[in-house]
Structure 1
Amino acid sequence: MKKLDYKTYGEFTNELLYLKYDSQIIYEGYTDNLITSVSGDLELKLNYGMSYTSSVIARKSGDYIIWIPKIPLDSDYRYKTIIISSKQFSELWTFLKYKEEDDLEIIKNISADELKLMWMVGARGIERIDDMSYLIKSVKKNINALSTSLEHEDAIFYNLIENRWALKKDEIIEGQDYWKSIIAYLDKGGYEEWEVFKEDNKENLYIHLGNGYCLPI
């Protein structure tokens, strides 16, 4: 499980929060500006230490709380795969003096489309993304080349991009550091490489949702 670190400082009425996930800062600013549920979903307005925010929405899968991208995505939208345990969620909410039970009630179970959104968002180009169809077009246009390993799995790869997911399993697992990465090379956007799949030492293939978290195919 990735580590979640946080601390507050300053006066109570203007309290500042410093929040890190997996050793990377994901929010620094006023505590009251981090969380909202105005849209009907539990939402974090992350800024990654920058002056602008990129919102993520909470979803559930088993014992995980998963923060997914919020569409539409502007060209400067940033996203990092953030998955925490229910225990980490409870500890953070208690630290921030929020009522955990109230917010847990509004968190929906994650859907296959939302898992696909997580998988693809880092491979987008620089266009504004208004829905999944825009995202698919952007990702396909942004792929420069496939690694040799991915060329052998290209049928599975493009099927996952173009079609709706009907997964036999929806259990998210944390991959091992020694698992092989299978990569697509990108033209524009925030990254030059997309870790599409992970492969374990038994040659089992997994969709890589980001940050080491995987989904069995």
Structure 2
Amino acid sequence: MKKLDFKTYGEFTDEMLNLKYDSQIIYEGYTDNLITSITGDLELKLNYGTSNTYSVLARKFGDHVVWIPKLPLDSDYRYKTIVFTLRQFVELWTFLKYRAENDLEIIKNIRSDELKLIWMMGARGAERIDDTSSLIQSVKKNILALSTSLEHQDTTFNNLIQNNWVLNKDRLIEEGDNWECFIAYLDNGVHEEWEVFKKDQEDVLYIHLGSGYCLPI
């Protein structure tokens, strides 16, 4: 479980919030500007401590709340895989004086194409992304080479990029110590490497969604 830290400071009418996930700032600004549900989805307007805003949408996945990218994505859109346990969600919402049970009711269950979207965000290029199809094309163009271990899984890798996913299990697994990493090397965009898969010490292969969270294949 990744650590979630939060604190407020300043006057009540201009209260400021500092929110950290896995020791990294994901929001710093006015408390009232973080959460909205005006579009029908529960949404966080993250800024990672900058002056820019990057919206993510809440989805339920088993006993977790997963924050997914909000399409379309501008060329400078920033995304980090963020997963709350239900307990962390309730703790943060309670701290911010929201009724967690009410907002949990409006959160939709995650779809398989949304999990695929999270996975591919680690390899997008620098162009604007309008939909999942354009993201797939961006990822395919952005890949320069594969690590030796990933070359041996190239059929599985290409099928996951090209084809629709079928969601068989509603559970996320956090990677363990010394898990093997399967890497794709990238041309441009935010990252130079994409950690595509992880393999545990029993040789079980997982899709790596980011931030150490994995999905059984």
C-alpha distance after superposition, 1:108-151 (max 9, x if no partner): 11110000000001200011000000000000000000000000
- State the number of aligned residues: 217
Q: Unmatched 5+ residue regions in structure 2?
A: none
1:127 corresponding residue in structure 2: 127
Instruction: Report which stretch shifted further, 174-183 or 2-11.
Output: 174-183
Q: Does the 8 A contact of 1:113 with 1:164 survive in 2?
A: yes
- In structure 2, distance between residues paired with 1:21 and 1:167: 27
Aligned position for 1:180: 180
TM superposition outliers: structure 1 runs of 4+ over 4 Å: none
In 2, distance between residues paired with 1:199 and 1:170? Answer: 19
Question: Percent of aligned pairs with the same residue?
Answer: 73
Quick one: distance in 2 between partners of 1:145 and 1:85? Answer: 35
For 2:171 and 2:87, the matched residues in 1 are separated by 18
Equivalent AA in structure 2 for residue 29 of structure 1: G
Give the whole-Å Cα distance in 1 for the aligned partners of 2:75 and 2:25. 21
Show CA shifts across 1:22-76 (max 9, x none). Answer: 0000000000000000110000000000100100000011110100111000011
For the residues of structure 1 that align with 2:167 and 2:16, how far apart are their CA atoms?
42
Instruction: Give the secondary-structure state (helix, strand or coil) at the position aligned to 1:122.
Output: helix
Partner residue, 2:40:
40
Which residue of the partner structure matches residue 86 of structure 1?
Answer: 86
| Kept after mapping to 2: 8 A contact 1:170/1:216 | no
What SS is found at the alignment partner of 2:195? strand
Instruction: Give the corresponding residue for 1:107.
Output: 107
- Which residue pairs with 2:207 in the alignment? 207
Instruction: Please state how far the C-alpha of 1:10 moved relative to its aligned partner.
Output: 0.3
Q: TM-score, normalised by structure 1?
A: 0.99
The alignment's C-alpha RMSD in Å is 0.7
Is it true that 1:65 corresponds to 2:65 in the alignment? yes
Matched, 1:10 2:19: no
SS in 2 for 1:181: strand
Could you tell me how far apart the structure 2 residues matched to 1:166 and 1:90 are? 30
Look up the SS of the partner of 2:123 in the other structure: coil
Aligned counterpart, 1:160 = 160
Query: Which whole-Å CA distance do the structure 2 matches of 1:88 and 1:133 have between them?
Result: 33
Instruction: Please give the alpha-carbon distance, in whole angstroms, between the structure 1 residues aligned to 2:187 and 2:36.
Output: 35
TM-superposed CA distance for 1:167, in Å, is 3.7
Deviations along 1:141-185, one digit per CA (max 9) or x if unpaired, are: 000000000000000000000000024334211111311110000
Name the structure 2 match of 1:76. Answer: 76
Q: TM-score, normalised by structure 2?
A: 0.99
Please give the secondary structure, in 1, of the residue aligned with 2:135: helix
Does the residue aligned with 1:32 lie in a helix, a strand or coil? helix
| Residue of structure 2 in register with 1:97 after alignment | 97
Secondary structure of the corresponding residue to residue 209 of structure 2: strand
Which deviations, in whole Å up to 9, do the C-alpha atoms of 1:77-112 show, x marking residues without a partner?
000010010000000000000111211111011110
2:51 aligns with: 51
